[in-house]
Amino acid sequence: MSALAGVGVGRGIAAAKVLRMPEPLAPPSDEPLAADVDAEHARVQQALAHVADELNARAAAAGGEAQQVLEAAALMAQDPAILDDVRSRLDGGANAERATWDAYAQFREMLTAMGGYMAERATDLDDVAQRVVARLRGVAAPGVPVSDEPFILVARDLAPADTATLDLERTLALVTQEGGPTSHTAILARSKSLPAVVGVVGLLDAAADGQRAIVDARAGTVELDPDDAAVDAALAEREARLAAASAPITAGALADGTEVPLLANVGSPKDAAAAVAAGAEGVGLFRTEFLFLDASSAPSVEQQTASYTELLEAFPGKKVVARVLDAGADKPLAFLNDAHEENPALGLRGIRALRANEAILRDQLTALANADAATDAELWVMAPMIADVEEAEYFVALGRELGLKVVGAMAEVPSIAVVADQVVEACDFVSIGTNDLTQYTLAADRQLGSVAALQDPWHPAVLRLVKMLGDAGARAGKPVGVCGEAAADPALAVVLVGLGVTTLSMSASAIADVRAELLTVTLGQARARAERVLGARSAADARQLAAAVAAG
């Protein structure tokens, strides 16, 4: 038996035979075009339309977060700029497959160079290109293999179109060689409550079709060729974990009764039902961008009020933390900032962009205050990318002026932790966005595959910043929450509580796993794990140290 390690997603465990994802299509030949240009152009048009229709159909069937991801991919097959590029390459003598391949490759390079959210789209773009070229060749597009038996899917990485429509009756777990804890594979696996281990170095060299394997997401391990006793133990452990996850919903708490409210991250009012069903005790991150991202101008106060009211009405008497518009960099909006920036991730984004367009910010805060007054929810409002106390004071003062009762700051820029004592005095609360905090602390774009290994919230530098914020909050008597993907990692959730975090917010599907994990430790035990990992030398070391303390 051999063991491989990666980053686990969730607490699940599975034992089955391995089924490998087929390798991508080989690049097209450079043979010159031997057909009529107009006819080949029409053939590419038809292939693009077919792929777009297929992706939209998968989106409709998938629903939820997966639907949004797939619809975005479908738009990549409908982009007129791609078709124009293909036409120019056909006119230059390239064959249809090569013209399409190269057009998407050029687009991919452009997205990768932009970084952030746009760089993440590059992986999705590869999948679209493969599907279009496969259509032109008349062959099946690379995708999830079909099996009559349950299996563990092994791949270099998975495209959203594949992850979103997995047969959950037969796919017991996912294992990928690439990707990190915030990759689409990890996010969609978590949304489907599917055990996964990502970023497994050497996976494709070690795992073969038909091999038996045990995937333990909680431990972040993949055991190949286990014996019967190990498989039986894994299956027994799986049943125990399933029983724990299906236990009656209770409020988040530690074994000693210490309360740790578990909240949900939601992207629009339509996500509220799933959050309520999962037992969320409120909303820890309401992303308000859904009203802005597809708009040519900022929505009116009336439009915003209606949408915010709809969400708040789903959580009577419960806390809802709304983040004001987080745009710029990876989510560009022409009406907010249309200036070219050499490095937009470090440019006019978050509170900086809103401050430069205060009328938009005032309208949003007014709409939030209106919704608060019209409902029984407990509305908290925070601003993204707060860097220091001056920015915090600006936002809090404006929020108070416009009628908001609880106003706070998101901690995503490392500087806010350095001056945490000042910021918590100015704010009612702080919420840590671990995705961006990690990316800025390690100078590693969270959507860039080449630095994915650095994008890990277990890194001791990130955890030390979290402790600085937690300690400052405790001294001032102010709550400090986490609303990044780190909160959805059950083992890390325990460490975060030990570092002083008072609430955890995550995707609704992760709540059950985190709730079960918290019930296994006391506050003293959580603090012991936290103290141990602060001395770690790397993210991997931190995981191992936390696991060692947990094992006793």
Q: Is 184 tagged catalytic?
A: yes
What is the C-alpha to C-alpha distance for residues 378 and 405, in angstroms, rounded to an integer?
Answer: 9
Q: Which two tokens stand for residue 63?
A: 């629903």
What is the C-alpha to C-alpha distance for residues 123 and 196, in angstroms, rounded to an integer?
Answer: 19
Element (H, E) at 275: helix 272-277
Q: Tokens 């050499």 identify what position?
A: 342
Which is the catalytic residue, given 41, 50, 184, 340? 184
What is the C-alpha to C-alpha distance for residues 203 and 304, in angstroms, rounded to an integer?
Answer: 47
What is the C-alpha to C-alpha distance for residues 226 and 124, in angstroms, rounded to an integer?
Answer: 34
The DSSP code for 1 is -
What is the C-alpha to C-alpha distance for residues 197 and 208, in angstroms, rounded to an integer?
Answer: 16
- Residue-wise burial string across 277-298, b where 16 or more C-beta atoms lie within 10 A, e elsewhere: ebbbbbbbbbbbbbbbeeeeeb
Please give the order of strands across the beta sheet that includes 212-216.
2-5, 221-224, 212-216, 13-20, 151-155, 171-176, 196-198, 7-9
CA-to-CA separations, 134 to 34, 47, 50, 51, 394, in angstroms, rounded = 19, 9, 11, 10, 54
Q: Which two tokens stand for residue 88?
A: 């120019």
- Residue-wise burial string across 391-429, b where 16 or more C-beta atoms lie within 10 A, e elsewhere: bbbbbbebbeebebebbbbbbbbbebbebbebbbebbbb
What is the C-alpha to C-alpha distance for residues 485 and 483, in angstroms, rounded to an integer?
Answer: 7
What is the C-alpha to C-alpha distance for residues 100 and 77, in angstroms, rounded to an integer?
Answer: 11
Q: Which two tokens stand for residue 250?
A: 């209770």
What is the C-alpha to C-alpha distance for residues 131 and 195, in angstroms, rounded to an integer?
Answer: 27
342, burial (CB in 10 Å: exposed 0-12, middle 13-18, buried 19+): exposed
What is the C-alpha to C-alpha distance for residues 470 and 393, in angstroms, rounded to an integer?
Answer: 20
Residues with a catalytic annotation lie at: 184, 483
